[in-house]
Structure formats: C-alpha cells, structure tokens
Chain A
Amino acid sequence: MTVKLVIGLDGAETGDRALEFAKTLAARIDDCELIVAYVIEWSPFTFQTPEENAMRHKRREEELATATARVAEPAVKSLQDAGFKASCIVRHGDVAETLNKITVENGASQIIVGRSSEGGFTKRIFGSSTQNLVMHADVPVTVVG
C-alpha cells in the first residue's frame, strides 16, 4: 500500500529543511508518495473595497500561478530529481485547516511542516498555523526546526 506524506510549505527557509526530512523519511519507506502542499493564507470573512472584489479573480489566478511556479513546482522537481514520486497542490484558505483537508482527501498518513514563520507577538496572540495544525490535525504532524 502506498504511504502518502504531505509536506506543507510556505516559502520560508524552514520549508527546505522539511523537504530534506521528508526525503530521509521517504527513503526508508518502500512505496512512498510525496505531496507538496502550499496553502495561500485566505479567509472568506475579510472586508474588501469594491475595487478589490472586482480584481479578486485576477489576483487569485496570479497568486496560484506564483505559488506554483516559485515554491511548489521547484520543490516537486527537487523531490523527483532525488528519485521520489511527488506532486503538488496549491490552494487558498486557512493554512492549518486546508493542510489537514488536503491530507484527509488524499489519504495521507502524516504531515511534515517547518517550524512557524510568524513573528513572536502575532504568535502569542493568535497562535501560529503550525500550532493550530498540531492541535487539530487528523494525522500525526512532524514539525521540523
């Protein structure tokens, strides 16, 4: 049975270390598939100007294209070059919730993420995506420092 692992990236440096760890882990597993997931932070409950709304569809396409080209696809390439089976998913949403959803949808058994990239103050008040993920994920979460 294929073991699937989700690697959550956000473009920060810790993402590279998460990828490295994923490679080490995958090497030990017989039949493994790696899914690189990039979640663009977005909430349906924000307040916009009318102009922002009119431009939103265009911006969304741009954001998806940029994230795919700059982060997700290079990551997939680096995994494939190392000999692993890999694919990528880029989506908008709440980071923790969406990573978890992607994991469940694809039947993955673990999530690997880098340590959080939010600043100290924000983290103290609102918690970080990593903290939220660890507390609410449906599968084991590995946080790489």
Chain B
Amino acid sequence: MKISKYPLAAAAALLSAAPACAQEAMGIDEKVNQAFAQVTGPFVSLIFAPFPGTDFPWIVMWLVIAASVFTLYFGFVQLRFFKHAIQLVKGDFADPNDAGEVSHFQALATALSGTVGLGNIAGVAVAVGIGGPGATFWMILAGLLGMASKFTECTLGVKYRNEYPDGTVSGGPMYYISKGFKELGLPGGKILAVLFSVFCILGALGGGNMFQANQAHAQISGIIGDYPGWITGIVFAVIVFLVIVGGIKSIANVTEKVVPFMGILYVGAALIILLVNYDKIGWAFGQIFDGAFTGLGVAGGMVGALIQGFKRAAFSNEAGVGSAAIAHSAVRTNEPITEGFVSLLEPLIDTVVICTMTALVITISGQLIMDPATGQFVLDGARIATVDGNTGVSLTSAAFGASISWFPYVLAVAVVLFAFSTMISWSYYGLKAWTYLFGEGKMSELVFKLIFCVFIVIGAAASLGPVIDFSDAAIFAMAVVNIFALYFLMRIVRQELQSYSSRLKQGVIKAFTG
C-alpha cells in the first residue's frame, strides 16, 4: 500500500506543474508526432494498400473472406453452438474436480477485458465519423462473421500450448503455428511463428498501448482542459510499470473488478439514452440501413461505409488477429474446442453489443451534421462534419453528453479504466511474443516491459492520426500471418469439432448436475 502512494503523489506534482511548462511541452509533443509519422508511414501504406484501381484496402477483404470461409467451413458454428457456449460459461459442464482452475468464464472475461477498450468507444466514433451510421451495419456483420475466426484460433491456442514443469502455461499463435505446421508436415511454420511474434510485439505497442493512451488523454484533456499528452503518458506509464514489473497486483486486481462494472454502466447508459429517444430509434436504424447501402453522402459511399465498418470491427474484437488465443490458452481443459465455443461470445459482446451501442448513441445524438435538404451528410474533408468538429473519443463523449450532461465525466473514468485494462492485457500478449523470440527470463522480460512503458508516453503525446494508423497496421499485420496459418490448420479444428459434437450427441460429454 505504501508504494502505491508515490505514483499518485508524482502525478499530482506533474499535473500542478503543467500550466507552467505548457508552451515548451507542446513543442515536444509536435516533435514526437512528426518523428513517429515519418517512421511508421511506409509500413502503414503497405498494410492499407488498395486493390489496384480501387479504394479498397486488401487487408479488409483478407479478414472478411477468412471470417466467411471459417463460418462456412464450420457450418455456421456461431449459430449451432451458441447455446452450448452459454452453458459452458455458466459452468454447466464444469468438472467438480477442476474447481480452482481457470474457468471458462474467467478466460472469457480476461479476453474481453483485453478487447473491450478504446476501440469500442473511440474507434467506433472514427468509423461512424468517416463512414456514417451505415458503417454500423457492416461492423455488426463483420462481428458475426468474426465469431468463426475467434473460434478457430482459440481452439488451436489451447490445443498447442506449452505446459511447463512449474505448472505455468504459454500459448498462442506462435505456438500453434510452429507446432501445428510441424504436425501436418508443412514447412515454414517456424518462420511464420517468428513473423507473427514480431507483428504481435508491434501490435501490443500500437493498438494495445499507444492508441489507448492517446484516447485516454484526449478524454481527460477534454474534461479538465488542454495540456500536453506526454504528462498523461508518464502517469500511465508509471502505474503500468508498477503493475507489470513491480507486480503491484492490487492495482490490476482493482481494475479487473471495476472494468466489468464500467462496461455494464456504459451499455446501461447507452440503453437509457436509446430508451429516452425511443421515437428516434426507428429513424436511427433507417439511417444505418440507408447508409449501409448508399453511404448517404459519406466519402467513398457504400464502400466507404463498408471499409470503415469492417476495419473497426476487426480492430475492436480482434477476430483473426490471434491475441485472444494467447488469453484463452490458460484454461486447463481436456477439450480445446470448448474454449473455441466460449470465444464465440467475444465478438458478439464486443462488437454486436458494445460497439453497436456506441454507434447508435452517436447516430441518435445528432452530432453528425446532415443537410436536411438532401438527406446527405455534410463533409469536412474526408470525414463527416460534426458539431464542434469532434472526432474519436470526444465525439462519443459529446454524443453521450447531449443526452446525459454529466456522462462525459463518467466516460473519462471509464476510458481511463478500459485503457488501463487493455494495456495490462496487451503487455502480456506482447510479452509472450517477445519471450517466444528472445527466450524467457527476467532480463528479457524487463527489456520488453520498459519498451512497452516508453511507448505509452509516445502514444499519449502523438496526435490521433498517426497513432491510429500505426495501431491498425500492426494489428492487421498480425492477422495477415495468423489467418494465413489458420487456412492450413483449420482442418485440425474441424476434426476436434466433429469428435466433440458426436460425443456430445451421444451423451458421452455430459452436463454436471447438482
């Protein structure tokens, strides 16, 4: 308890000195920003390169086609085994002898606390801000299809994890790619695993870290007034450092308990706003459907809406990215496929529920400026003009604030907690990739954790554009390698599915009653 008082004191001291150094500090922000944009530019351009002659980034098709293939290959597993997934999470099939081990619910909750973050709050605002409400339709569709991708990767994550003599586990795409390919007698597994690990480290530093810090700062400075981002960055970095290096479990424990409540509060507030505006719900859905197929004047029209929707869904629920496989691999179960079933629920909760709530509130709030004469959105460059020119998390904040005037304060707390819990989760995913490449060991781990904390400061200091571009690119790069491998490994998952499915039907696998 004594140790944890210092960061708070340090934070208070820094914040009180802020106004005095504001001018000079803004200069630092700019420099960091420019350097960052220069370095990451080429990588971002490669990932988001469009199909020749079109505006369509190939990476979006890559993700959606994969999700569709998996959906068909596994016979719409998201529908067939949805009920079973719920039963597993409730514990109906839990062996009493396994009491005390990681439960399916805990694995799901852990993975969700990693994926539910600023993507659901700020990322959706970016999508709807560029692609309009129509992006929501494509986002939901991508979420539903993505359930099959998660199913595939999480099953493999459990099946091919490493169990060490001291009882700890390490799992994830780098393990299932190398082991799975070897099992199937395919070459190149090791190289792909290494490539994935590199991208995973970049993804952990980007979406799991910089983006979170950046948007958390945006929300805080929106409330208490403008001040340099690196200050927020340092405060966050110090606290994260204490948790991941110092092992101050109490902070992480608090966050992990509070985050689900914040999630419920957020969805609850969204539902209240929708109920209060019940007369506009029909209109909002109309906007979503119209926008989905016509664009309603957004940049790129229908395709623009589609691209934004798919992009945001992928970034938010991480289906096909492989990070959830790392989280789910800790469950001790004899049936890897059960973790696959449980992971079906993640894109559903993350995208179809939470992201949609954000999108509906933004649509209903009237923050997006529409020309009443034409019924099309007024554009401001590539994005839709908004009241006060808000983007990202400030757009979401304004949207909620339009109905519940004090909600931006609650949102600030929620944003900080979501950002923090996502950072903790992704520091772990990045760490697993790092130790896969550089070996386990205290020194090796410390180096990564220090790098991770430095990037928190960079992320808070940079402006939204370069940060979100790099974050997206890094995470999608993971999906490139992961999905490529999944195409080869999916037959293994099908065997598991068929075996489990028949045993379930025959009653060999039974629910535990009483």
Contact = CB atoms under 8 A, between A and B. Distances in A.
B100 A53 contact: no
B267 interface: no
Most chain A CB inside 10 Å of its own CB: which residue of B110, B253, B257: B110
Contact of B113 (A47, A55, A92, A98): A47
Nearest to B257: A47
A56 B438 CA distance: 24
A19 B326 CA distance: 46
A88 B412 CA distance: 51
Given A57-B169, A60-B100, A49 B425 contact: yes
A50 B114 contact: yes
Interface in B254-287: 256-257, 259-260
Given A44-B106, A55-B168, A56-B330, A49 B101 contact: no
Contacts of A44: 91, 94, 99, 103-106
A48 B109 contact: yes
Contacts, number: 89
Nearest to B331: A53
Nearest to A98: B99
Contacts of A81: none
Interface string B164-184: 001111100000000000000
A30 interface: no
Interface residues of A, number: 26
Contacts of A101: 96, 514
Contact of A47 (B99, B109, B327, B330): B109
Contact of A54 (B104, B168, B257): B168
Contacts of B44: none
A63 interface: yes
B151 interface: no
B100 A63 contact: yes
A19 to B, nearest CB: 24
Given A48-B109, A53-B327, A61 B167 contact: yes
Given A47-B260, A50-B326, A50-B429, A57 B332 contact: yes
5 contacts: A44-B103, A49-B425, A60-B101, A93-B100, A101-B96
Interface of B: 91, 94, 96, 99-107, 109-110, 113-114, 166-170, 249, 252-253, 256-257, 259-260, 326-327, 330-332, 424-425, 428-429, 514
